[in-house]
A and B are shown apart, each in its own frame.
Chain A
Amino acid sequence: MAKKTFTGRVILSGEITGKATVSKQPFNTSGSYVENMFGGRTDAAPCTDAANKELFGKDLAGAILCTPTTVGSTMGGMALMGMKSIGVGPEALLFSKPIDTLAAAGVLMAEIWKEQRIVTIDMLGDEFLETVKMGDPISIKEDGTVQVG
Chain B
Amino acid sequence: MNRRELLKSLPAGALVPTAISATVMPSAATEKQAPGAGSGRAQTSGTNPGVYKVSNKTFDNPGAYDGIHCDQFGIGTDGKPIADNLTGTGSDAAPKGQSHKMTLTQEEQDILSGSQGEVMAKVLKTIVMHGELFGAERLADCGGAPHSSLYTGSPWVVPVLEMFEEIADAGLKAHAPYTVNPMPLDLYSVGQDPAKRNMMLEGYPLQGRLIQLHTRLGARPLDVWSCACYLPEVGNTAEPGTVVSWAESSAVNYGNSVLGLRINRMATGMELLCAVAGKVPVFGMLTDEGRKAKWHIDVKLSKEPHWGALGGAIGTKVVEQVPYITGIDQWIGMQDGKPDLVAMGKLKAMGSSTASSGAVGLYHVENVTPEAQVQARALLAEGHQTYVIDDAEMERVLGTFENRWKDPNGDPTAVYIGCPHNTYDEILYWAKRLNSALRLKGQKQVAIPVIMACPIVVRNRLLDEYPLLLRDILRAGVKFTTICTPGYQGLKGMADIDRGVTNSNKARHYSGLRLFGDDDLIQIALTGKLPA
Contact = CB atoms under 8 A, between A and B. Distances in A.
Contacts of B88: 69-71, 74, 100-103
B59 A39 contact: yes
Interface residues of A, number: 60
Contact of A26 (B62, B73, B249, B268): B73
A78 B125 contact: no
Interface in B72-87: 72-75, 79-87
B130 A104 contact: yes
Contacts of A11: 133
Interface string B176-210: 00000000000000000000000000010000000
B9 interface: no
A41 B59 contact: yes
Contacts of A99: 87, 133
B122 A113 contact: yes
Interface stretch (A13-21, A80-88, A131-139): A80-88
Contacts of B203: 38
A48 B65 contact: yes
A92 interface: no
Contacts of B86: 26, 69, 71, 100
B163 A25 contact: no
A96 B86 CA distance: 12
Contact of A74 (B79, B94, B247): B247
A81 B134 CA distance: 20
Interface centre among B59, B63, B72 (most CB of A within 10 A): B59
Contacts of A77: 267-270
A106 interface: yes
B57 A39 contact: yes
B59 A48 contact: yes
Nearest to A110: B159
Nearest to A76: B267
A40 B266 contact: no
Interface string B78-107: 011111111111000011001000000000
Contact of B158 (A9, A49, A82, A97): A82
Contacts of B157: 78, 82
B72 A26 contact: yes
Nearest to A12: B129
Interface centre among B75, B82, B156, B491 (most CB of A within 10 A): B156
A84 to B, nearest CB: 8
A10 B89 CA distance: 20
Contacts of B94: 98
A24 B75 contact: yes
A68 B268 CA distance: 21
Interface of A: 9-11, 24-26, 28, 30-31, 34-41, 46, 48-52, 68-79, 81-86, 96-106, 108-110, 112-114, 122-123
Interface of B: 54-59, 62-63, 65-69, 72-75, 79-89, 94-95, 98, 122, 125-126, 129-130, 133-134, 149-150, 152, 154-160, 162-163, 166, 203, 247-249, 264-270, 273, 359, 490-492
Given A78-B269, A109-B270, 5 more contacts: A24-B75, A25-B73, A38-B63, A41-B59, A69-B87
28 contacts: A24-B75, A25-B75, A26-B81, A26-B86, A34-B59, A34-B62, A38-B490, A38-B491, A39-B56, A39-B57, A39-B59, A41-B57, A51-B69, A68-B85, A81-B159, A81-B160, A85-B156, A85-B158, A100-B86, A101-B264, A101-B270, A105-B270, A109-B163, A109-B270, A109-B273, A112-B126, A113-B163, A114-B163
